[in-house]
Amino acid sequence: MQKQNGTRFPDKGNWIKIFVVAGVALVLVKVFGPASPPPADPTTTPEECLASVYADEGNLRILEGSRTKANILHDLAPLICRGRKVFDKLKAEGETITSGTVTLRVVVEYNGEIISAEVQETSIDSRTFLNELISLFNMSDFSFWNREDVDAVFTYTVRFGR
């Protein structure tokens, strides 16, 4: 068995070199490393989101049918809040998407089935977001409306992003 010369640990001068190199490396990573994403917009609670949709009652225009504003907002609010979550998720994932408004035109059958949902007007130019928003509506239903066997047609303008 052969005896090793020297020590297992670097001497004092080598420790200083290691710390200096590590410090320089950290500074370089901080300065030239990948940019961190911007801080997320402050999140709202589900209750705050639902309340904001009800507060924007003036953005709802009933074009046909006997459904009331309260009935439509009751079924519309959760869809809008899910749409806002989709918006925030896409933005957090790096999708180039700016805040803006979307005016939706929705046709709902008396049994609650959404016959059609379409974007009538928008200031948001993210095709991905708009497609996902319409998909949310197409996969959902409103509550049954037995007062009249007539489709409800309405528009609603909603703001996405802060």
Is there a contact between 151 and 64 (Cβ–Cβ < 8 Å)?
yes
Residues with Cβ < 8 Å from 29, sequence gap 6 or more? none
Question: Would you kindly state where each structural domain of the chain is located, as residue ranges?
Answer: 46-160
Stretches where the chain sits below pLDDT 50 are: 37-41
Cα 27 to Cα 33: distance, rounded to the nearest angstrom: 9
Q: What is the pLDDT of residue 38?
A: 45
Is there a contact between 69 and 57 (Cβ–Cβ < 8 Å)?
yes
Planar angle of CA 130, 160, 77, nearest 5 degrees: 90
Residues with Cβ < 8 Å from 140, sequence gap 6 or more? 79, 114
Token look-up 């708009």 returns 130
Give me the chain's average pLDDT, please: 85
Assigned CATH topology for domain 46-160? 3.30.1150
* pTM of full prediction above 0.85: no
Q: What is the pLDDT of residue 46?
A: 86
Q: What is the pLDDT of residue 41?
A: 46
Q: What is the pLDDT of residue 33?
A: 62
Is there a contact between 79 and 136 (Cβ–Cβ < 8 Å)?
yes
